[in-house]
Amino acid sequence: MSDILKHIPVGYIANQVAHQMGLAEGIPGLRSTTTLGDIMEQYQQAKLSANYIRGKIGEKKNKVRDRVDRRLAREFEKNKTQSSSTSRTYSPTGSYNPSPLPKQYQGGASDFNRLADQQAKQSSQYLADQQNDDDPASFNQNKAKRDLNSAKKEATDKFKKEAQELLMKTAEKIAKKLGLRTVSLSSGSTGVGLIVTFIIWSGQAILGNLMGSKIVPKLDWWEFILWLVVGLALLGILILASALLVLISDPVGVGWDALSNWISS
Amino acid sequence: MLNDVEEKIDSSVEALELALSENKSLEMIKPLFENLVEALSRKLVLNLNKIKDDNIDLSEEKMAVMQAEEVERYKETVAYFAHYVDKNFNDRS
């Protein structure tokens, strides 16, 4: 951009206009020293950032597409071996990575289906391109389509099953924790219930929080602190009560005397 | 009021386009561009006042956000016209 345009004082002009029109505080966020060059630079940077973000999103999409490609290729090969097909060999590039899809794509069956559809189309095209002149073309093409469709269905079903299992496990875990909490809180409303609550909490605190058991759910931080406080209080009461009992029973006959001496001194 | 300002913007843009089509120098174009910036600034002030009047119930923070968005739109428009003039000059040479 030429220097003449670059030095146009856009901020100054805008703030002058604002003052003329009664906007005493001027334009918010636009200083009088801002020039056209500053504004252009700001938008160049914004454009660069947008391009960078767009590039990053593109990379991520490509990674997912590659992973789905590998999975489908593997399913295709597996299916082909099982049916001892005579159709032309499909040659996937790269080895299959057996790790599951990333978490953000688990549960997104529609995304998976869309990508799988794309892959099916690409693979059909690939097979059509690779068709040998000697082979009966239509037979091979139909066979390849059937194989791909069944591979796609199988992969989708497997994926859905995995997602459902994960959902069930999480739901069970939450239900277990909620159930325990309901029992302990409802029983806490009675005197006996307080003891039951304390016993349940003790179990959860020792097994869940301290020993890190995966079966027993952990106490929340506030429950843990409350449990500690109540535990210490109970211990204190127990010690005091036993001391009192010793004094009352007075096994050696010096208890009350000692106490009265101490009080009178 | 808004109509007057929009008419002024239109006439400023027309004048700028005419000057560019007649291959006028940058020194000639600069005041025309400044006129356009002034007209756009008038529209900006009107829009900022409108935001204030239409959203009396809004909190100050939300109002500030809406006004900042309006200022960004203004900057974007100015940058667009600057880019337009710049591109025209580059094509010329």
CB-based burial, A136-161: b 16+ in 10 Å, e otherwise: eeeebbebbeebbeebbeebeeebee
How high is the ipTM of this complex?
0.89
B32 touches chain A (CB under 8 A): no
Sign of the alpha-carbon dihedral angle for A110, A113, A118, A119? positive
Q: Which of A4, A8, A13 sits opposite B41 (nearest CB)?
A: A13
Q: Model confidence over A76-127: pLDDT tens digits? A: 777 777 665 544 444 444 444 444 545 544 444 555 566 666 666 666 665 5
Question: Taking a contact as any Cβ pair under 8 Å apart, which residues of chain B between 58 and 87 contact chain A?
Answer: 64, 67-68, 71, 74-76, 78-79, 82-83, 85-86
| Distance between CA atoms of residues A156 and A151, nearest Å | 9
Contact B88, B20 (CB under 8 A): yes
Mean pLDDT value across residues A16-21: 90
Chain A residue closest in CA terms to B30:
A5
Predicted confidence band at A175 (pLDDT cuts at 50, 70, 90)?
confident
**Cβ separation A30–B71 shorter than 8 A:** yes
Q: What are the CA-CA distances from residue B25 to residues A2, A4, B88 (Å)? A: 11, 11, 11
**Cβ separation A8–B34 shorter than 8 A:** yes
Chain A: give the shortest CA distance to residue B45, in Å: 6
B42 touches chain A (CB under 8 A): yes
Which of B41, B53, B86 is best to mutate for the A interface (most A CBs within 10 A)?
A: B41
Whether A194 shows a pLDDT value over 90: the answer reads no
Q: What confidence score (pLDDT) does residue A172 get?
A: 78
A23 touches chain B (CB under 8 A): yes
Which of A3, A6, A12, A13 is best to mutate for the B interface (most B CBs within 10 A)?
A: A13
Q: What confidence score (pLDDT) does residue A189 get?
A: 63
Contact A43, B79 (CB under 8 A): yes
Chain B residue closest in CA terms to A20:
B42
Burial class (CB in 10 A: 0-12, 13-18, 19+), A190: exposed
Q: What confidence score (pLDDT) does residue B71 get?
A: 92
Q: What confidence score (pLDDT) does residue B56 get?
A: 80
Q: What confidence score (pLDDT) does residue B40 get?
A: 93
Q: Model confidence over B52-65: pLDDT tens digits? A: 888 888 888 888 88
Chain B: give the shortest CA distance to residue A7, in Å: 10
Place of tokens 């960078």: A52
Burial class (CB in 10 A: 0-12, 13-18, 19+), B12: buried
Q: What confidence score (pLDDT) does residue A104 get?
A: 47
Task: Give first-to-last CA distance, chain A, whole Å.
Answer: 98
Point out the least confidently predicted range of A5-9, A11-15, A110-114.
A110-114
* The residue type at A133: D
Question: Taking a contact as any Cβ pair under 8 Å apart, which residues of chain B between 1 and 30 contact chain A?
Answer: 26-27, 29-30
Predicted confidence band at B39 (pLDDT cuts at 50, 70, 90)?
very high
Helix axes A137-187, A36-82, angle to 10 degrees: 110
pTM for this prediction: 0.43
Chain A: give the shortest CA distance to residue B92, in Å: 14
Contact A65, A112 (CB under 8 A): no
